[in-house]
Amino acid sequence: MYGRLCFAGRFTDLPSNITAREGQNIEMACAFQSGTTSVYLEIQWWFIRAPEELRTSEEEEESEEEETEMELIPEPDPDDEGTKISTVKVQGNDISHKLQIARVSKSDEGLYECRVTDANYGELKEYKAQAYLKVNATVRRGLIKKTSPLHLTNKKPRKSSAALGQDSNDMNSDQHSQSSSTSQASQSKTVKHSAGSGRND
C-alpha cells in the first residue's frame, strides 16, 4: 500500500512539436510507465483545434474564398474535448503508442494530445501530454511562370517601312520601263519617216 502511494506514473517518451510540409509522413511518440502494478493502462490520441493565438500569419493570408469557407464551420462546443483518433489498452506497467499520419495536409495542423488512463483497483488517474503539428504549404512551381518581354512593337514598324520601300522601288522600276519603251517607239517612228522621205526624193 505504501509503495503504491510513493511511485507515481510518468511519461517515458513525450510527444514533441513537429513542423512538416504537405505530403510528408509524421509520427508522434508517447510512452508511459506506471509506478505500480496497474489493472490496465490506456493511451488515447486526440486532435484539438489550434487556438486563435496559435494561428500563423500564413493562415491570415489565405484567399477570401477559403476565409468564407472557414466562417461557415460552426464554432467548437466548449464541452467538446476534441476528436479521438486512436486508443490502445494494455495490461501491465508500461504502454506506448505512436500516432502516425500519412501525407499530412493543412487540415491536420493543430494541437495533439496523448491521454493516458492508469486504472488501479477502482482508482483512475489521467495523464496528458500535448504537441503541436505545424504544416507548411508546398510551393507549386507550375503556377509561377516568368514572361519574356515582347518585341512585336519594335518589329512591326520595321516590317512596314521595308514593305513601303519595296513598293516604292517597284513603282520606280515600272515607271522607268514604261518611259524607256515610249522613247523606243518614238525613235522607230522617226526612222520610218526618214526612210519614206528618202524614197520620195
Phi-psi category of residue 103: left, alpha or beta, with phi > 0 → left and psi -120 to 50 → alpha: left
Quote the CA–CA distance of 130 and 46 in Å, as a whole number: 9
Q: Residues 114-148: pLDDT tens digits?
A: 999 999 887 899 999 999 999 998 876 655 455 55
Q: Where are the domains of the chain?
A: 2-139
Instruction: Supply the DSSP symbol for 89.
Output: E
Report pLDDT for 55.
54
Q: Give the predicted TM-score (pTM) of the model.
A: 0.55
pLDDT at 10 over 60: yes
pLDDT band at 89 (very low <50, low <70, confident <90, very high): very high
Rg from Cα positions in the chain: 46
Pick from 116, 96, 115, 125: which is nearest to 4 by CA? 125
Quote the CA–CA distance of 113 and 82 in Å, as a whole number: 9
pLDDT at 177 over 90: no
Secondary structure E strands in 54-168: 83-90, 94-96, 99-101, 110-120, 123-136
Q: What's the whole-number mean pLDDT along residues 44-49?
A: 93
pLDDT band at 50 (very low <50, low <70, confident <90, very high): low
Strand, coil or helix: 173 = helix
Report pLDDT for 142.
55
Give me the CATH code for the 2-139 domain, please: 2.60.40.10
Q: Residues 92-105: pLDDT tens digits?
A: 899 999 999 999 99
